[in-house]
């Protein structure tokens, strides 16, 4: 059996039971084919016939597993987004315990950049931006994952450094938003909307290092 194809989680992402045996292999084939088709064509232009052909299954099999095209899209893209962030290690303790705070922040943000600026994540980002008015669930999921896995550990680290007197941060959340805007924000903007632009290999490191320097020049205690 393919499992239940009804129900959604608190964000509106479909809950689809995990099948076993040959049904699991079919589910994986469908998900892989669907991801490729949605990334190439977007939701509206994507063809379930093409997905079925590439997955080596029939259209009824796809509907048996996922219910309909909308649930297929949400389940596949939502699952890929969740998996993309699952193995991230925030390593915020390396910031609070670092002898060189600037180097620690630069390394943290560099590691973050390596993940979010990967072509797989950027392709998903472009897709979700294009479909967010139709599927706000995916925008909310992306926001929640980023906040939970990346923003929150950094906010907690900055707040702790404020309590220790290393930083002067009346509002750690605002300070982190400023730091991200000066470092990852511009890089994401360029890579998302101008994918063919030639970027000097040293540019991301330079942008991150300079953004960290500006952040510390404002927030680091000097007395």
pLDDT in tens, 58-86: 999 999 999 999 999 999 999 999 888 77
Contact (Cβ atoms closer than 8 angstroms) between residue 56 and residue 29: yes
pTM value is 0.85
Residue in this structure with the two tokens 């632009």, named with its chain if needed: 197
pLDDT for 200: 75
pLDDT band at 10 (very low <50, low <70, confident <90, very high): confident
Average pLDDT, the chain: 90
Query: What average pLDDT does this structure show over 162-174?
Result: 97
Judge if 128 and 202 occupy the same domain. Answer: yes
Domain check: are 45 and 138 in the same one? Answer: no
For residues 98 and 58, state if they share a domain. no
Tell me: pLDDT of 4 over 70. Answer: no
pLDDT at 5: 56
Q: Is residue 3 one of the residues assigned to a domain?
A: no
Asked if 113 and 204 count as a contact pair (C-beta separation under 8 A), the reply is yes
- How far apart CA 145 and CA 219 sit, in angstroms, is 27
Of all residues in the chain, what percent carry a pLDDT higher than 90? Answer: 65
Q: Any idea what DSSP says for residue 7?
A: -
Domain boundary among 50, 66, 82: 82
Note whether residue 15 is domain-resident: no
Same domain flag for 152 and 133: yes
Residue 128 structure tokens: 């979700």
- Looking at the domain assignment, is residue 200 inside a domain? yes
- The CA distance from 117 to 195, in Å, is 11
């Amino acid at each position: 059996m393919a499992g239940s194809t009804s129900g959604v989680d608190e964000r509106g992402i479909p809950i689809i039971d995990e099948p076993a045996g040959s049904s699991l292999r079919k589910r994986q084939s469908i998900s892989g084919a669907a991801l490729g088709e949605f990334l190439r064509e977007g939701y509206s232009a994507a063809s379930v016939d093409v997905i079925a052909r590439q997955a080596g299954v029939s259209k009824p099999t796809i509907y048996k597993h996922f219910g309909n095209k909308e649930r297929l899209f949400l389940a596949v893209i939502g699952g890929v987004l969740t998996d993309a962030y699952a193995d991230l290690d925030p390593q915020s303790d390396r910031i609070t315990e670092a002898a060189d705070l600037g180097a620690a922040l630069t390394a943290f943000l560099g590691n973050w950049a390596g993940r979010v600026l990967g072509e797989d994540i950027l392709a998903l980002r472009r897709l979700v931006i294009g479909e967010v008015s139709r599927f706000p669930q995916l925008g909310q999921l992306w926001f929640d994952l980023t906040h939970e896995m990346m923003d929150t550990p950094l906010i907690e680290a900055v707040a702790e450094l404020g309590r220790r007197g290393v930083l002067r941060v009346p509002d750690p959340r605002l300070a982190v938003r400023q730091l991200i805007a000066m470092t990852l924000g511009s890089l994401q903007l360029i890579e998302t909307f101008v994918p063919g632009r030639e970027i000097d290999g040293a540019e991301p490191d330079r942008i991150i290092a300079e953004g960290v320097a500006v952040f510390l020049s404002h927030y680091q205690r000097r007395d």
